[in-house]
Amino acid sequence: MLDLAIVGGGPAGLTAGLYATRGGLKNVVMFEKGLPGGQITQSSEVENYPGVCNVVTGMELMECWPKQCMKFGLKHEMEEVTRVKRECNGIFTLELLSGKKVESKAVIVATGSTPKRAGFDGEEEFFGKGVSTCATCDGFFYKDKEVAVLGGGDTALEEAIYLSNICSKVYLIHRRDRFRAAPATIERVKNNPKIELILNATIKKAYGDNMGLQGVLIDQKGKEIDLKVPGIFVFVGMNVNNEVLKQEDGTFLCSVNHWGEVIVDLRMRTDIPGLFAAGDIREFASKQVVCAAGDGATAAINAIDYIEKIGELKPC
């Protein structure tokens, strides 16, 4: 049986592993089906992480985190957790996609969130063939070409700025007439001669052929615009990755809000003893790397306290 199981390998999960093992827990496993790092690895620019003075990519920021966090004994299992259950004796059972089951005294869920789809016609058809949610990953393919960005938050504006350094022109499409982003970022966008704003507009359809995207049809207050671009980057929010907490009857293991975010207290405790949540999956998360890391540390410290108090758990 594990002392602590951590589900998710982003900033919250990695930091939880670091603090749990350095804090004395001997049998801690982080379950992450891919490479550790999380959503931030897709970010083109990180300039607000404390102590990192230079502007770096998300991949560069996270490069040494796994090595540091595993130095004290954290183990990484490249497995996908499909469900977390709590048995009558307080032991947690993790069901894995491989069919295996793992028992643990405590669990920290740090599964984060994933980009939402906008829902326009052709979005799925051309995803990976012109439609993208990662400017860092795919921006290079459109060097010296015109592209579009859909969204009005910080991520959309920051990625539009990033793409303007690669592409000949960036069309920024937003359904409202004002942005939900930091004032400084909005000013940078408005003062960028390579970014053209298309406001009060929505995308109706993406079109192309078997070679890829050729353009998008935009509805701007009843007027149709045919924007011929080979690439569009969609940044319209995130979905909470809470599937591991869903039980066989469709309910959640712990309390969640109407967005599906896990409700925790200041110690990252859910209303189920021994179950913690950290990072973007929790209610009121700030969606910042530094905050996710802080959540992970807090969850681990309190998980250690929980495990010390319960002592040995016996079968039902």
Mean model confidence pLDDT for the chain: 95
214 touches 129 (CB < 8 A): no
148 touches 170 (CB < 8 A): yes
Give CA separation, 155 vs 160, 179, 296, 313, in Å. 8, 11, 23, 45
Give the pLDDT of residue 163: 96
pTM: predicted TM-score of the whole model, two decimal places: 0.81
192 touches 164 (CB < 8 A): yes
Stretch 201-221: mean pLDDT, rounded? 97
Give the pLDDT of residue 208: 97
On whether both 18 and 61 belong to a single domain, the answer is yes
Report pLDDT digits (tens) over 56-91.
888 999 999 999 999 999 999 999 999 999 998 899
Number of domains in the chain: 2
On whether both 140 and 274 belong to a single domain, the answer is no
Give CA separation, 309 vs 3, 149, 237, 306, 313, in Å. 12, 51, 40, 5, 11
Can you read off the two tokens belonging to residue 282? 């929790």
Is residue 120 a part of any domain in this protein? no
| CATH at 97 | 3.50.50.60
Antiparallel, parallel or unpaired: β 113-115 and 75-77: unpaired
Continuous segment of H or E residues that includes residue 40? none
On whether both 65 and 200 belong to a single domain, the answer is no
Continuous segment of H or E residues that includes residue 217? strand 212-220
Q: Which residues contact 183 (CB under 8 A, 6 or more apart)?
A: none
Q: Which residue, among 307, 287, 309, 311, has the nearest Cα to 299 in the 3D structure?
A: 307
Q: Given a cut of 70, is residue 200 above it in pLDDT? A: yes
**Helix, strand, coil share (%) of the chain residues, nearest 5:** 25, 30, 45
> Looking at 234, 266, 288, which one is the last position of a domain?
234
Q: Please write down the long-range contacts of 187-195, taking CB distance under 8 Å and 24 or more positions apart.
A: 188/157, 188/161, 189/157, 189/160, 189/161, 192/160, 192/161, 192/164, 194/164, 194/167, 194/168, 194/169, 194/170, 195/160, 195/161, 195/164, 195/169, 195/170, 195/171
Is residue 29 a part of any domain in this protein? yes
276 touches 258 (CB < 8 A): no
Distance, in Å, from the CA atom of 214 to the CA atom of 93, rounded to the nearest integer, reads: 48
Stretch 265-281: mean pLDDT, rounded? 98
Neighbours of 124 (CB within 10 A): 12
Stretch 275-289: mean pLDDT, rounded? 94
163 touches 170 (CB < 8 A): yes
On whether both 271 and 225 belong to a single domain, the answer is no
Stretch 217-246: mean pLDDT, rounded? 96
52 touches 43 (CB < 8 A): no
315 pLDDT band, cuts 50/70/90, is low
Q: Given a cut of 80, is residue 45 above it in pLDDT? A: no
Report pLDDT digits (tens) over 171-187.
999 999 999 999 999 99
Give the pLDDT of residue 316: 60
Q: Given a cut of 80, is residue 314 above it in pLDDT? A: no
On whether both 250 and 197 belong to a single domain, the answer is no
- Name the packing angle between helices 289-310 and 11-22 (round to 10°): 40
Is residue 58 a part of any domain in this protein? yes
**What percent of the chain clears pLDDT 70, i.e. is strictly above it?**
99
DSSP state for residue 263 in the 8-state scheme: P
Stretch 220-239: mean pLDDT, rounded? 96
Q: Given a cut of 90, is residue 134 above it in pLDDT? A: no
On whether both 228 and 250 belong to a single domain, the answer is no
Torsion of CA 101, 104, 110, 116, to 10 degrees: 20
Q: Given a cut of 90, is residue 42 above it in pLDDT? A: no
101 touches 93 (CB < 8 A): yes
Catalytic residues: 134, 137-138
Continuous segment of H or E residues that includes residue 131? strand 131-132
Antiparallel, parallel or unpaired: β 201-209 and 212-220: antiparallel
Backbone angles phi, psi at 93, to 5 degrees: -115, 125
For residue 55, the enclosing domain spans 2-115+238-310
On whether both 142 and 226 belong to a single domain, the answer is yes
312 pLDDT band, cuts 50/70/90, is confident
On whether both 185 and 261 belong to a single domain, the answer is no
Better-scored residue on pLDDT, 17 or 310: 17
- Helix ranges restricted to H, 27-110: 58-62, 65-70
CA-based end-to-end distance of the chain: 15
On whether both 106 and 149 belong to a single domain, the answer is no
274 pLDDT band, cuts 50/70/90, is very high
Report pLDDT digits (tens) over 140-156.
999 999 999 999 999 89
